[in-house]
Each structure stands twice: as structure tokens, then as C-alpha cells.
């Protein structure tokens, strides 16, 4: 069971599994994966064309985000920003509203930085050379492999969490990212399987298999095109491989904010640097990651914003998650005596309200969450 020093931890393989590293075995794996993908690929908006910009946008959106959560924002984003040139000119507020619902807004800012470099250095066209793609802001190893292979057909691998899980189970690997040796093993395995003639489809096939069949729990081995030589399946270890890091304990937050509605909209503030959702507009309170007692809310708002408000009862309670924080946000009706540094903001799709604030509007102000005159 012990592994050689410097190598990835690997379970003893059934007879014949070692052949998978041979050119013939690798070709067999690739062929099965591609046949399965051709028959089972999902109809996703970003798969309906080969525009490098659209593919780049989709890959950035899909990082740390579920596919179903990306469908609508992707279509909306491309309608507003169909080219790198259009997005390069976007203001901060336009960026934030276009990215609403996806979280991790730093991705959007890096994408805009990349679009601006494309405009400045490549005439507004996403470069097709791997080296030039790699120099764009926000293009890491995974995004580089995905865009280079899917948009331009380069024989580059794209390794995300789904791919790591598929390879770990198929090869019988305990670890996938905890050591440099494990990462090298994963990359070497995928590179050995890669069908250079259909590199983009191959990368999507492995990712699709991990998302739809070789799932983190309860994998559907009966539907897997490479199950016949999967080490984890042969040894009954699909539930154990790859080894999972212990989940970080959740932090429960009882946040509170005031909801002050007027003829000019709702009172809010722009989130400062160093806080979650920087640059967006948020309902006034102690902050989304800070618990607050109801009796302290007025004093907290005065201390932070210099606003003197009369705080009433709770009119909406909503739940939200930010990283490992599990937030229950209680919004209290309030009236203003003096507003301090707070300002009036319209409740519409053009104003970059935070997602928790929008949830409050939906709960407290109507079915569509929009203020009406």
C-alpha cells in the first residue's frame, strides 16, 4: 500500500489496469469517453458556437459555480457585452450588475482586465496562441487549457475538480491536489489520454463525466463508459476515492439591516474595500458577516454611517451563504431622522445591490422585488 517517495499515493491496481498508460490503452479511454460525450452531452448555451470570447466568459463563470446557475447570467452577459471591446468599456456598476447571481466578483474584474488587454494588445480579438492566452489577466492553468482546447483546438488539458475525481477513481489515487506529485500524476494521466484531434471535446467529456456520472457521492458506475477498467470500482472504493479534505465548520451569523423605503428608492451604502461584495450597494447594518442584536441596530447604523434612524420590527428574514458563513439576515423597517453618509438607491436591475439585499426586497417589497412608482 505504500507509495514510492515523491509519487502520488496509489491503490494497488487490478490486473490489466497498468495497460491504461500505454498508447493503446490511452486511446481506448479517449475513444470511449468521446463516444459517450457525443451521445450524452448536455445542451448548454456556451456549446452552441465557437466564439472564443463566449467560451472564455463561460469558463470564468463556471469556476466554483454550478452549471444551472450560469445558464441565465451567461446569456444575459453576452447580450450586454458581446465582445471583449464592449466589456473593456464597462463601468464598475455595469460589471457588478452583469455578474449578479454568480458571486466571486473578483473573477469579473479579472475578466475585464483581460478584455482590456485584448483590446490594447490584440485589436479586440481573443488571441489564439497559447502563450498569448497565458499572459491575459485571470487566465490560470485550467482556464488556459479550456479556452485553448475548446475555442482553438490546441492539445492542452483542462483539469478541474470533476476531472480530478474521475482520474483519481479510475487510477486508484488517494490524493489529487495535496502534493505536487499528485497534481503531476493527474496532469500526466489526462495528457496521456488526450485525443489531440478533438482536444476540446475530450476535455469537456471528462468534465461532463465527473459532473453527470462520476459524481462526488453515489456515482452511477453502470452508466460510465470507462467503468470496466476503473480501479475504484473494481475494489469497491468509489466512496473513498479520492480522499476528501474535512469540511470547514460553518459559522452561523444572525445579521441585521434596516429597510428604509422612500420616494427616491431605498437607503443603502456602497460596500467598502476589504468587505464581502466590495463596490456593491447594501442595506445598512453591521455587515453581512457580523451578528447583531436587535436592540443594537440603531446604534450600529449611527456608528458606521452617522445616520439617526428609528428602527422598528422585522419585515423580512432571508438566508444566504458567503464562503463558509451561513447567514440569516433580518431586515427591520425603519424611518430616517438624519441620513448621515447613506444614500438613496433605486431598486432595479441596473443598481448593483448585493444578493442578500435583493432577497430582502423580494420578501418585503413584492413578488418581483422591484420598487414601483
Q: Are 162 and 155 in contact (CB under 8 A)?
A: no
Edge to edge, the sheet with strand 251-259 lists 251-259, 325-338, 308-322
**Total Cβ atoms within 10 A of residue 107:** 19
Distance of CA 312 to the CA centre of its chain: 37
Q: Are 96 and 280 in contact (CB under 8 A)?
A: yes
Give the DSSP per-residue string, 202-259: HHHHHHHHHHHTS-SSS--GGG-TTGGG-HHHHTT-TTTSSPPPPPPPPEEEEEEEEE
Question: Among the options 10, 59, 156, 175, which is catalytic?
Answer: 59
Question: Do β-strands 265-270 and 343-345 pair in parallel, antiparallel, or remain unpaired?
Answer: antiparallel
Residue 327, burial from CB neighbour count under 10 angstroms (0-12, 13-18, 19+): buried
Nearest-CA neighbor of 57 among 129, 65, 198, 199?
65
In angstroms, the CA 148 to CA 120 distance is 20
In angstroms, the CA 121 to CA 114 distance is 10
C-alpha cell recorded at residue 97: 450588475
Distance of CA 339 to the CA centre of its chain: 37
Question: Do β-strands 261-262 and 265-270 pair in parallel, antiparallel, or remain unpaired?
Answer: antiparallel
> Quick one: DSSP state of residue 8?
P
Question: What torsion do the CA atoms of 92, 97, 100, 104 make, to the nearest 10 degrees?
Answer: 0
- Tell the residue number behind the cell numbers 442595506, with chain if given: 283
Residue 94 designated active-site: no
Annotated active-site positions, please?
A: 59
Amino acid at each position: 500500500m505504500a507509495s514510492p517517495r515523491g509519487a502520488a499515493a496509489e491503490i494497488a491496481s487490478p490486473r490489466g489496469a497498468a495497460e491504461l498508460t500505454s498508447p493503446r490503452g490511452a486511446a481506448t479511454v479517449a475513444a470511449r469517453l468521446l463516444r459517450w460525450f457525443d451521445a450524452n452531452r448536455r445542451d448548454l448555451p456556451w456549446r452552441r458556437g465557437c466564439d472564443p470570447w463566449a467560451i472564455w466568459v463561460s469558463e470564468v463563470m463556471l469556476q466554483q459555480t454550478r452549471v444551472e446557475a450560469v445558464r441565465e447570467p451567461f446569456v444575459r452577459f453576452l447580450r450586454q457585452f458581446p465582445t471583449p471591446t464592449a466589456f473593456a468599456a464597462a463601468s464598475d456598476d455595469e460589471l457588478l450588475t452583469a455578474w449578479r447571481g454568480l458571486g466571486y466578483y473578483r473573477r469579473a474584474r479579472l475578466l475585464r482586465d483581460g478584455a482590456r488587454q485584448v483590446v490594447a494588445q490584440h485589436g479586440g480579438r481573443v488571441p489564439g496562441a497559447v502563450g498569448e492566452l497565458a499572459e491575459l489577466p485571470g487566465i490560470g492553468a485550467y482556464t488556459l487549457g479550456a479556452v485553448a482546447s475548446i475555442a482553438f483546438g490546441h492539445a492542452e488539458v483542462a483539469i478541474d475538480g470533476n476531472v480530478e475525481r474521475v482520474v483519481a477513481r479510475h487510477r486508484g489515487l488517494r490524493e489529487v491536489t495535496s502534493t505536487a506529485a499528485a497534481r503531476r500524476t493527474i496532469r500526466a494521466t489526462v495528457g496521456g489520454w488526450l485525443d489531440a484531434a478533438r482536444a476540446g471535446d475530450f476535455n469537456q467529456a471528462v468534465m461532463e463525466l465527473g459532473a453527470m456520472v462520476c459524481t462526488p457521492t453515489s456515482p452511477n458506475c453502470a452508466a460510465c463508459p470507462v467503468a470496466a477498467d476503473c480501479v475504484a470500482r473494481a475494489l469497491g472504493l468509489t466512496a473513498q476515492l479520492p480522499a476528501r479534505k474535512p469540511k470547514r465548520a460553518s459559522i452561523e451569523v444572525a445579521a441585521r439591516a434596516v429597510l428604509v423605503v422612500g420616494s427616491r428608492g431605498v437607503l443603502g451604502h456602497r460596500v467598502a474595500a476589504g468587505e464581502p461584495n466590495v463596490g456593491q450597494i447594501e442595506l445598512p447594518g453591521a455587515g453581512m458577516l457580523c451578528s447583531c442584536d436587535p436592540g443594537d441596530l440603531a446604534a450600529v447604523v449611527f456608528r458606521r454611517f452617522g445616520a439617526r434612524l428609528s428602527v422598528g420590527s422585522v419585515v423580512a428574514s432571508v438566508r444566504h451563504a458567503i464562503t463558509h458563513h451561513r447567514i440569516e439576515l433580518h431586515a427591520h423597517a425603519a424611518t430616517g431622522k438624519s441620513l448621515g453618509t447613506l444614500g438613496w438607491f433605486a431598486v432595479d436591475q441596473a443598481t448593483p445591490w448585493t444578493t442578500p439585499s435583493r432577497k430582502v426586497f423580494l420578501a418585503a417589497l413584492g413578488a418581483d422585488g422591484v420598487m414601483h412608482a
